[in-house]
Chain A
Amino acid sequence: MRTYAPATVDAVLDELLAEPSMARGVIHHELIPARAARTAPLPSWLDSRISTGLAQRGISQLYTHQAEAIEAVHAGRDVVVVTPTASGKSLCYTLPVLQALAADPSARALFLFPTKALGQDQVTEFSTLAQLSGLDVAAATYDGDTPAPIRSAIRTAGQVVVTNPDMLHAAILPHHTKWFQLFEQLQVIVVDELHTYRGVFGSHVANVLRRLLRLCAHYGSHPVIVCCSATIGNPLELASTLTGRTPQLVDQNGAPSGERHLLLVDPPLLDAATGARGSALTLANRWALPFLRAGRQTIVFGRSRTAVELLLTGLREALREHAGPRSRVRGYRGGYLPTERRSIEQGLRSGEVLGVVSTNALELGVDIGRLDAAIIAGYPGSVAGTWQQIGRAGRRSGMSVAVVIASGSPVDQYVIHHPDFLLNGAPEEARLDPDNLHILLAHLKAATFELPFEPGEVFGPGPADDLLAFLAEEHHVRQAADGRWYWSSENFPASAISLRTAASENVVIIDTTPDRPRVIGEVDLFGAQTAVHEDAIYLHESAQFHVDRLDWDERKAYVRRVDVDHYTQADVAVTLKPLDVFASAALPGGTREHGEVMVASLATIYKKLKFITNENLGWGRIHLPEIELQTTAAWLTLDPAIVTTGPGGTWRRNELDVALVGAGRAIQAVASFLLMVSPADLGLVCQVRSPHHEAPTIYLYETVPGGVGLAERLFGRTDELIAGAAELIAGCACDEGCPSCTGPRLEPGINVRALAIRLLTTLGAAQPVTVGGGVVVP
């Protein structure tokens, strides 16, 4: 396979599959047939100048989904456009906005992008089309980088204002009277990258939009909302929850695509006893290299920044060794300078850059054209995310290849051995809970600051009066003699809210290495106790920092640049107690419940672990106060009688302990992909004898204060959780439990796998067909 001559994609793939060591790992090979374009003519009402501009960009027709969306927006209907990467989504809103501006230059539009970079791209894109159309349009980004003198010009004269939710929240809405020209004439609001607005961030953004629409109503404008999303399971529901309105769904993709091959690959099992597998990264490079050598544009996705650097180093080494196109392979991740990123994107579009190794930073709407092959090292954590990455490969015509390579984690193993999950399963649903009380109250304050509330005025779930009465007790607001609620505090509420997290308290990390200490990052309180405790090694931009001092009361961590061969890992003791039960239901062998809980976590000790080998080099104590988190949780409680008289006889206490943790880990893994959340969004606590229930209990709690509604969904899908967990463990290739199913072994000589399955069966899982010893479930 050491050819350097250009070759076609199918030739490279054939050669790869001819190699037994590669072919063996392929669990599934799916062929997705080519699809022809479905087009529609440009709308008759379109200003001829815009048609001319489009023609200069080589566009004389629209894809059907574009036409459908554009008609709807033109008719004043909200839409949500859901089509794959690079299907020309942005035209769905740029055309109606240009048309509106061509008809009436006093019209205004607001574009929201989750990140600054995407917004800046869009301004360039939009302005180019406007120029080609001979329209004089003032489109500008309004973000943290916008210089002050330009800001006031944008406020009064910016026809298209491109910004991000954070800026809208903190700089535009509270000062809306300076933006009255925008609010009075606002005709279109664009919410691009809709799928990123989930979880806590989405819950905040939904409230920011509530505030925005409230101000529009005040100024008498009725903007249309255009949402654009990558593929997710519930785009319509997400858009409705986020905007509070019911848009028209446009999801019939009219863009063409060539034939595509999708391969699911599992690294070889190295040791059945421990469940150790070959590295997904090494394998990813083996799959990527032949494509690169054949001159095919290839993207390799890693899950973390470190993974990207490792993959990149590996690829470059290999290409150098064989005099390959080394310098044409680039890295791309958060932390690279914007100009560097722009040049890589440009290089990919022009073909100058042959290969790129990236984190999901490229998952977002960054335009890099379409590539020949996508190699995904490690399941990205969601079906939707996986398809977004797969979508990077796929020319409009001609063949493309996508390879998904599993890591050893339970989630990856489950996904790779259940091809249906990825191929036919619905993409995950994006969840948010705009009515999370903590978030809702914070934004209600900001909304009152912006404009007094009428009595009975609805904000979010209903009339806000009760909540306002609560805020009045705390002296934030006041009901005046006209019954309206007014902000009555000296504070500026928007500054107390950070959209990217629910907890407002953060520890700032200060680097004392340079002469003038500088802030290099921040971490929330929970993260702080494990990431920046004293003597911790904090990693930032692949540099190591030693934490010299953590001033807990001041919320400041002082760090110093070091170069050591180890990192640190902290142990946290977590206790949990239920405060309120919202709902309860029976379960075979026990009960399932969800409700409010108090989670207390205390960092106890930290270990020093050597890089790569993870060899333990010593430990130390952590002296920090306990942190309490009030949140929501879902839990499963075993009927105490089962413990003594259930199937399989009496449980020994240590067995029960191991079984609970093993089953809990599997449930946690299944929960994270059922709900399309990061595994870090759910915490696990297992109690052999819960003080509250006086019975064995498995708790899954939300790591966000107040929760964002995950617990309630888990409660509703308990059956799937239990069945999925049993299946995950049963399908694992290990002997007695491993990190891919039940988590790291806690006690030697105990068959965690069997015990966990026994426990799950007790809770109603079907008796699964267990397969062990390295054989994979067919």
Chain B
Amino acid sequence: MNQASLLERRLDRLRLSREAAVHEGSGPAGGEPAWAPLTRSAEQRAERLAQALDGSWVRGPGGGYVRIEPASIQLPIDRDRSAGLPGHPGPDVPLVCLDTETTGLATGAGTLAFLIGLGWWEGDAFRQVQLLLPDQAGETAFLDALADLLPANAWLVTYNGRSFDWPLLVTRFRLNRRPPPALAGHLDLLPFVRRVFRHRMTDARLKTVETALLGVRRGRDIEGWEIPGRYLEMLRGGPIAPISEVVRHNHEDVRSLARLMAHAEQQLGGTRERRSAPAGDLFGLARAYRRSRRDRDALDCLDAALEGPARAPVAVGPGPIQRSWSTILTARADDTGPLPSTPARLEILVERARLLRRLGRHREALEAWQDVAHAGGHDAAIAWIEVAKCLEHRERDPAGALNACAAADRLAQRSRMLGRPLRLVEADLGRRRIRLSRRMKVPA
């Protein structure tokens, strides 16, 4: 008999058994529950895991978790410098780096976080703790342990944790009818990396960050897409060894978060450090400061970018050919793709001129726009208009403004002849020149 009709009969049996249960009074008939052997095998598995991973098996109600605590390493960080970076917490805020391994990428209630890697600084030492769930039954104890490790005033440091790890953990807490731990703040390093370093990497995955920025080469490591399968297989009685590789992977990920924080602070945390940073990094950092409404810091970055040695940044990463589809599909930082172009010097100059204007440093802004205008190229016509604005409104020099307009007009006309009319520039110039001419005729 085939499977479906077999099930049909099973279902009939179910109906009968329910009717019987209603008559006899429900509930299993005393003794140990039918799943007692499962409990025993789960305990054995937990003990074997704890042993294999050099961790300890912490029993809780319903089940427990394995706590793994490798020796801490020296990983100094200057929190004062770090605090100066955009979006980073103040120097005295406790930080907890966090990364989870899960049974899938769907964010619904059925995706389980089975391994949580945590790390924090104690002085110069970076201390790591990992919590591993040997069986779903222990989740309550597992989550309680996590909550205990998160101080109420701590900031979380993650990589894409804002949209993945943390919401998933919140879901797990809610599902277990527990209030999710309150966070004082959350520093997700992925957007920071995208803004500042992405220009010289083929993608923004943490692994690429390691090779491109941190100079770390992992030995044998596993791919993200392998992880859920390894864990689910172990739950079904599969081998434990594949899990130790997942644990190592997670351990490295958390450590890399710390390294990345230290790296950012060392390379970009102060005026002196920034001198040797690539112009592209500084340009990105300036944008990040702009987003945090810290225009003065943004300007410092741009100045540093212009002063610094002209170095062509080198792209680092696995390269598009070596990337398998599965890697691309499961990459959490899913912005793999061609390398965005590094900012040209001119682009930085334009950005700098805008910032100066916004900061109200008009004389410097005028000079900056003049630099851009003299450099020629794409933005020159617009720059001349900006020069005209400055001269007209700030310097009270309509004649100079009119000259600037003439320069802009020459560029616009050349552009039109080449078949690429700058319509907005032309329209602006038209109005501006009429107004300026009128003003010139009126005797002062």
Contact = CB atoms under 8 A, between A and B. Distances in A.
B314 interface: no
Interface in A456-504: 456, 458, 461-463, 466-467, 470, 475, 478-484, 486-494
Nearest to A582: B8
A64 B296 CA distance: 73
Contacts of B235: 478, 488
Contacts of A174: 106, 108-110
A642 interface: no
A580 B386 CA distance: 86
Given A449-B108, A488-B235, A466 B4 contact: no
Nearest to A475: B236
B108 A596 contact: no
A491 B17 contact: no
B373 to A, nearest CB: 41
A175 B107 contact: yes
B125 to A, nearest CB: 36
A462 B15 contact: yes
Contacts of A440: 11
B35 A479 contact: yes
Contacts of A272: none
A133 to B, nearest CB: 34
A662 interface: no
B137 A484 contact: yes
A520 interface: no
Contacts of A706: 4
A449 B11 contact: no
Contacts of B39: 481-483
B109 A176 contact: yes
B62 interface: yes
B42 A481 contact: yes
B295 interface: no
B174 A455 contact: no
Interface string B31-58: 0011100110111000000000000000
B11, B15, B28, most chain A CB atoms within 10 A: B11
Interface in A718-763: none
B1 interface: yes
A164 interface: no
A490 B136 contact: no
B109 A177 contact: yes
B14 interface: yes
Given A176-B109, A596-B4, A466 B14 contact: yes
B8 A596 contact: yes
B361 interface: no
B232 A490 contact: yes
A482 B40 CA distance: 10
Contact of B18 (A178, A463, A481): A463
A461 B11 contact: yes
Given A466-B13, A488-B235, A480 B104 contact: no
Interface string A162-193: 00000000000011111010000000000000
A451 B139 CA distance: 13
Interface string A426-454: 00000000010110110000001111100
A486 B14 contact: no
Interface string B3-36: 0110110110111011000000011100001110
Contacts of A94: none
Nearest to B1: A580
A85 interface: no
A482 B28 CA distance: 15
A175 B112 CA distance: 13
A491 B232 CA distance: 12
B332 to A, nearest CB: 15
B228 interface: yes
Contact of B38 (A175, A467, A480, A580): A480
A178 B163 CA distance: 13
A479 B8 contact: no
A630 interface: yes
B20 to A, nearest CB: 10
Q: Majority SS of interface residues in chain B?
A: helix
Nearest to B171: A177
A490 B137 contact: no
Contacts of A483: 33-35, 38-39
B5, B34, B43, most chain A CB atoms within 10 A: B5
A579 interface: yes
Interface in B81-116: 103-110, 112
Contacts of B105: 490
Nearest to B18: A462
The size class of the interface chain A forms with chain B is 35 or more
A487 B18 CA distance: 24
B175 A481 contact: no
A182 to B, nearest CB: 12
Given A180-B174, A462-B15, A463-B18, A480 B135 contact: yes
Contacts of A437: 4, 7-8, 11
Interface in A543-595: 579-580, 582
Nearest to B133: A480
Nearest to A488: B232
Contacts of B343: none
A469 B138 CA distance: 21
A580 B107 contact: no
A175 B109 CA distance: 6
A481 B107 CA distance: 24
B2 interface: yes
Given A435-B11, A481-B38, A481-B42, A486 B5 contact: no
A41 B295 CA distance: 68
B229 interface: yes
A496 B106 CA distance: 14
B110 A450 contact: yes
B14 A463 contact: yes
Nearest to B8: A437
B117 interface: no
A451 B14 contact: no
A479 B38 contact: yes
B33 A580 contact: no
B136 A462 contact: no
Nearest to A466: B10
Interface string A192-235: 00000000000000000000000000100000000000000000
A174 B13 CA distance: 30
B434 to A, nearest CB: 44
B110 A487 contact: yes
B94 to A, nearest CB: 27
Given A174-B108, A435-B11, A490 B229 contact: yes
B108 A461 contact: no
Contact of B42 (A455, A458, A480): A480
Interface in B226-278: 228-229, 232, 235-236
Contacts of B216: none
B73 interface: no
A596 B5 contact: yes
Contacts of B28: 456
Nearest to B7: A437
B15 A461 contact: yes
B356 to A, nearest CB: 35
Contacts of B62: 481-482
Given A450-B109, A492-B106, A462 B4 contact: no
A597 to B, nearest CB: 10
A131 to B, nearest CB: 34
B2, B8, B42, B229, most chain A CB atoms within 10 A: B8
6 contacts: A461-B11, A462-B17, A470-B7, A479-B35, A488-B232, A490-B229
Closest 4 CB pairs of A and B: A449-B110, A481-B42, A482-B137, A483-B35
Given A456-B26, A456-B27, A483-B39, 5 more contacts: A435-B11, A481-B135, A488-B103, A488-B235, A596-B4
Interface of A: 174-178, 180, 218, 435, 437-438, 440-441, 448-452, 455-456, 458, 461-463, 466-467, 470, 475, 478-484, 486-494, 579-580, 582, 596, 630, 706
